[in-house]
């Protein structure tokens, strides 16, 4: 009886499985690459003591960055990840420049070293500036 039901309703079953998969996909894909907006980023900084990790190049960082952020260029992160060990249990917000998402690689590097709360700032430093949040220059 079960086999007959499956044979008679294979299209319906396939549609149900596909729609269930499409509903779960955003939840599953967000775990590996979570983006947060500036409001959530500020909340993570203020209430969860998040580390702001700027992965832009040195000249970009010097031209303006989030106060108290740590600067490690994305291409140097693998060799400098040991500097971040004390932040393993805290949220980390990755800052990049808008339109260039080097944070995908940076996030992967951090996760491969056991960092579990890694977030990309949606829109990068440009979004931070547009929200009129503080910027410091060196």
Asked whether residue 98 falls in the same domain as residue 70, the answer is yes
Asked whether residue 79 falls in the same domain as residue 120, the answer is yes
pLDDT in tens, the chain (138 residues): 677 887 888 888 888 888 877 777 665 654 445 889 999 999 999 999 999 999 999 999 999 999 999 999 999 999 999 999 999 999 999 999 875 555 578 988 999 999 999 999 999 999 999 999 999 997
Asked whether residue 50 falls in the same domain as residue 89, the answer is yes
What range defines the domain where residue 20 resides? Answer: 1-32
Q: Domain count of the chain?
A: 2
pTM: 0.75
Label residues 30-44 b or e (16+ Cβ within 10 Å = b): eeeebebebebbbeb
Asked whether residue 86 falls in the same domain as residue 26, the answer is no
- Give SS3 for 73: coil
């Amino acid at each position: 009886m079960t086999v007959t039901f499956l044979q008679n309703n294979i299209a319906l079953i396939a549609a149900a499985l596909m729609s269930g998969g499409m509903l779960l996909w955003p939840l599953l894909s967000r775990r590996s690459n979570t983006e947060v907006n500036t409001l959530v980023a500020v909340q993570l900084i203020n209430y969860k003591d998040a580390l702001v990790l700027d992965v832009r190049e040195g000249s970009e960082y010097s031209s303006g960055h989030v106060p108290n952020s740590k600067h490690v260029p994305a291409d140097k992160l693998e060799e400098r990840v040991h500097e971040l060990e004390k932040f393993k249990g805290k949220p980390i917000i990755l800052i990049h420049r808008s339109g260039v998402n080097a944070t995908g690689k940076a996030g992967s590097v951090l996760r491969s070293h056991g960092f579990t709360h890694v977030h990309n700032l949606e829109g990068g430093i440009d979004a931070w500036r547009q929200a009129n949040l503080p910027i410091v220059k060196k």
